[in-house]
Structure 1
């Protein structure tokens, strides 16, 4: 399986060019974090079907499409009565090497466990056929969703973005505990998330 770039240069270097095609990726993050910047990189690096379950289509398009840049991202509302069907319909028409983003996955995780498992299996099949990627934005909460364990078990790659506030510093560390078909990171990556994604080279002060 050829690696597909993530759009984040530091991650692509760490992973030998990117993430194996056909992979299902889960990005876990706090709701108040800048995790959408990571989704933005995944969406912009190649053709993308972006399914939004909470934000409006206009809000997502405004955040993804900079002035003067041609956009290959198709944004659809998946917040209706049947988000599973909406996501699978978009995945079924995924172009070769394309990416499908689900932001966020919680409404789908509320499905019956067996139905949700079937959904993940069907999503993986579509992604495999297209040699593409699926990225599931999984927001953390005080009470874990009943199907979050299924999401993480099925996923090939798990990104865990941890945001902490200490004094005047906001620190973002990306942990990759799971990476099928490659090597998980041995240490957290400290990221700088402002209006883009880069490595934070500042030193931690104890």
Structure 2
């Protein structure tokens, strides 16, 4: 097991250079937030298999090619409602060594049979572990009932909870890491600046 950088400097500093290979990370966030910027950094720091369940492949590719200096390759593949879990795993089967699998977003898969979904997550973990890679599941928050979200968070090694607060004068993004299996979760939220990139927000909170 080795440490894999996340592509986000503040996270890498907090976690001693990155996250352990073989980790399954869940990023929960509001649909209207800038959480895709975090996916972007995870997917471009190393070779990546990007599995999209909602957006078209070309839309994802266009969003990921804004920075032409990136050397890592991102292979975007579509997951449709009719695809079986075995079919989804086949799209991630030839994962590059020390690469990343991004599932964006995981809700359509969470709506399926609970036992089959749990087996899928465990199989996806094994795929990542064999390649010394990492899995990032984008789990959007919703008012609708998502019963298998509990399975997602239980299987995950790390839970990243992005909380976006809108006031009359500003938008504040805080990243909370309440779970880090085998490591130290963060004691305090990280205040992030999410514009066209991810950085630390150094502005002071005013009550």
Partner of 2:58, secondary structure, is helix
Task: Give yes or no for contact 1:20–1:181 (8 Å, CA) kept in 2.
Answer: no
Are positions 1:23 and 2:5 aligned together?
no
Partners in 2 of 1:197 and 1:57 — Cα distance?
A: 23
| Equivalent position of 2:161 in the other structure | 160
Q: CA deviation at 1:68?
A: 3.4
Are positions 1:111 and 2:136 aligned together?
no
| Equivalent position of 2:187 in the other structure | 186
- The aligned runs of 1:30-109 (5 Å cut-off) are 30-66=30-66, 68-69=68-69, 70=71, 72-82=73-83, 84-109=85-110
Task: Give yes or no for contact 1:46–1:72 (8 Å, CA) kept in 2.
Answer: yes
* TM-score scaled by length of structure 1: 0.97
Q: CA deviation at 1:67?
A: 5.6
Partner of 2:165, secondary structure, is strand
| Equivalent position of 1:137 in the other structure | 138
| Equivalent position of 1:4 in the other structure | 4
Q: CA deviation at 1:181?
A: 2.4
Partners in 2 of 1:119 and 1:56 — Cα distance?
A: 23
Partner of 2:98, secondary structure, is coil
Once structures 1 and 2 are overlaid, which stretch shifts more, 20-29 or 81-90?
81-90
Partners in 2 of 1:112 and 1:83 — Cα distance?
A: 11
- Extract unaligned runs of 5+ from structure 1: none
Q: CA deviation at 1:66?
A: 2.0
Once structures 1 and 2 are overlaid, which stretch shifts more, 65-74 or 123-132?
65-74
Partner of 2:147, secondary structure, is coil
| Equivalent position of 2:14 in the other structure | 14
> Could you list the per-position Cα deviations for residues 82-141 of structure 1 after superposition, in whole angstroms to 9, with x for gaps in the alignment?
153343112211011010000000010011111011101110110110010000000001
Once structures 1 and 2 are overlaid, which stretch shifts more, 80-89 or 7-16?
80-89
- Extract unaligned runs of 5+ from structure 2: none
Partner of 1:160, secondary structure, is strand
The CA RMSD measured in Å over matched residues stands at 1.2
Partners in 2 of 1:193 and 1:83 — Cα distance?
A: 35
* TM-score scaled by length of structure 2: 0.96
